[in-house]
Amino acid sequence: MIHYSLVSAINQWARLTPQVTACIDGPVQLTWADFSRCVLAAIELLPTDRHATVGIVAGNNAEHMIMACAVIATGRVLQTFPVDVTDEVLAVLLKRSGVTHVGVDHANRVRSQALSDLDIKVIGFCRTQVKGLGHGKPVVIPDLSPCGAADLSIVFSSGTTGLPKGIVHSANARKVVAEAVAGLGLNRQAVNLVSLAMHNNLSMVTWLSALWNGACNVLLATFDPVALGEAALRHQATHLVMSPTHYRQLLGAQVDYQVQFASLRLHICSSSRLYAWEKQAVVQTLPGRFVEIYGVTEGGVGTFLDCSADPQKLHTVGKPLPIYDVRIIDEVGREVAANVVGKIVGRSEFMMSRYASHAPMESWAPPASDDEALRFIVPGDLGYLDPDGYLVVCDRAKDAVLADGEYIFPSQIESFIASTFLPIDVAVKVHANNAGGLGSVVIHLVPPLGAPAPIDGIVAQVDAHFGLGGRVTLNRVDAIPRNGMGKILRHLLTSPAHTITA
């Protein structure tokens, strides 16, 4: 069992291992003693009014991590805002959150000050302002951390359906996931390489849990496959989490995988779809145990696929993790049999308490009884469990169309195109007609380099393979709209002005 609160854990590591490295950010290495002193210095910059709320607008750096711990230590809810959104979106999120102060790093100070009309005070923190790093003794950080069912963090969803939603997790939920991550070896002997944006929940699950468990976090300002390989070798990284987009970039880079990543014990893929043949390529290329985790920011649903050990199940996302109760239900809430497509629902100890204000509540399924503790999260995905208990995720329910009793899934069409024609990128949008049946299928394609034009053979083959009755059109584009984690932003896919029709 890990220490009860994050701050008490940091105090413990600073007391027991003061000169062991806790965080590496470029040329700067902070020991646990340094880190505790930086957190205390950041606390002194926060408002003394306990009713004042503090958010964080920062990139991948030690300042982000230190300010996060300071906010938690003062008993406040950690709200970390996405920095990969437009100023307009950030302004809306800040205003809706109700924060009175934002802690910023140097890169985001000017951006945040430009939003001063929101009447939010900007707090700048720089770790180099803390004197005598590496020479002082650890300090005891006052610990007023939220505990139990109290709110500990608010993170924001990927925004694939529009404005990102604030999702609230309790202290218990964060502690449970930190314990689960410790079971994957992210402990005092581990070195966690952080290349995903720290405001993202997947990234937070690892770096926050690493702090809790006494591991060392190595922070990269941005994802770059060459820099990633160099950092993995230099710091002997043992753990790494990436999105499918980053795995694709890494596999296409000039990197000495076997040498630079030789220290990896575990690397994790999550957040969007990685095709089965791509998983196989990762297994064959990168050292270490390769696993895929499927879940949602809201929690409740979580599966684990050991790609190295289950080569026959790479088309799935694995089996539900022990702390998750994952089920497939029909439209009226009844559980369905194996191989029957339905709504994916789940519950666990790691599950959101609620959405923050101004967010919908449709992600809750009706409680199985009058006991609210039995309610399930409905993440909005359709899928099925195979006879062996492995989950196959088909697609978002809102992206699929039910025609003649069969679902038309954009992801299945994308998989066919990706494996058959090897485009640079592809996204499919399925449109329903006025009667709710299949209206049209629009392929948005970034053609492969050197591909002959026109490539209308794609339209004919897709139409024939899926039996779409001549309702397929092709839209050549320069890029597919995706978020920072590689998820397709289907609501931004526009109908083409000129198309090839089956």
Q: Model-level pTM?
A: 0.88
Give domain status of residue 249, yes or no: no
What is the distance between the alpha carbons of residues 452 and 465, in angstroms, rounded to a whole number?
22
User: Taking each helix axis from N to C terminus, what angle separates 62-73 and 32-43, rounded to the nearest 10 degrees?
Assistant: 60
Query: Which CATH number do you get for residue 110?
Result: 3.40.50.980
**How far out from the chain centre does Cα 348 lie?**
18
User: Is 8 in the same domain as 88?
Assistant: yes
Q: Which tokens hold the place of 249?
A: 């970039």
User: Is 333 in the same domain as 449?
Assistant: no
pLDDT at position 358 is 58
What is the distance between the alpha carbons of residues 455 and 460, in angstroms, rounded to a whole number?
10
Nearest of 274, 227, 222 to residue 247 by alpha carbon: 274
Give domain status of residue 345, yes or no: yes
Q: Letter for the amino acid at 399?
A: D
pLDDT at position 497 is 39
Give domain status of residue 223, yes or no: no
User: Is 411 in the same domain as 323?
Assistant: no
Beta bridge partners of 219: 25, 194
> Residue 166 belongs to what domain range?
1-131+138-182+194-203
Give domain status of residue 229, yes or no: no
Q: What are the backbone dihedrals phi and psi of residue 350, each rounded to the nearest 5 degrees, phi first?
A: -95, 95
b/e 304-326 (16+ beta carbons within 10 angstroms → b): bbebeebeebbebbbbbbebbeb
Which residues lie closer than 8 Å to 90 by C-beta, 6 or more apart? 57, 81, 82, 83, 111, 115
What is the distance between the alpha carbons of residues 495 and 245, in angstroms, rounded to a whole number?
24
Q: Is 307 within 8 Å of 292 (Cβ atoms)?
A: yes
Nearest of 41, 40, 39, 21 to residue 31 by alpha carbon: 21
User: Is 428 in the same domain as 446?
Assistant: yes
User: Is 352 in the same domain as 431?
Assistant: no
Give domain status of residue 241, yes or no: no
Parts of the chain with a pLDDT under 70 = 1-3, 115-118, 129-136, 159-162, 357-374, 450-456, 495-502
User: Is 57 in the same domain as 198?
Assistant: yes
User: Is 383 in the same domain as 372?
Assistant: yes
Last residue of a domain, one of 372, 397, 422: 397
Give domain status of residue 209, yes or no: no
Query: How many structural domains comprise the chain?
Result: 3
User: Is 372 in the same domain as 477?
Assistant: no
pLDDT at position 332 is 84
Give domain status of residue 493, yes or no: yes
Query: Which CATH number do you get for residue 370?
Result: 2.30.38.10
Q: pLDDT per residue over 56-78, tens digit each?
A: 999 999 999 999 999 999 999 99
pLDDT at position 455 is 62
Q: pLDDT per residue over 378-433, tens digit each?
A: 888 999 999 999 999 999 999 999 888 889 999 999 999 988 888 889 999 999 88
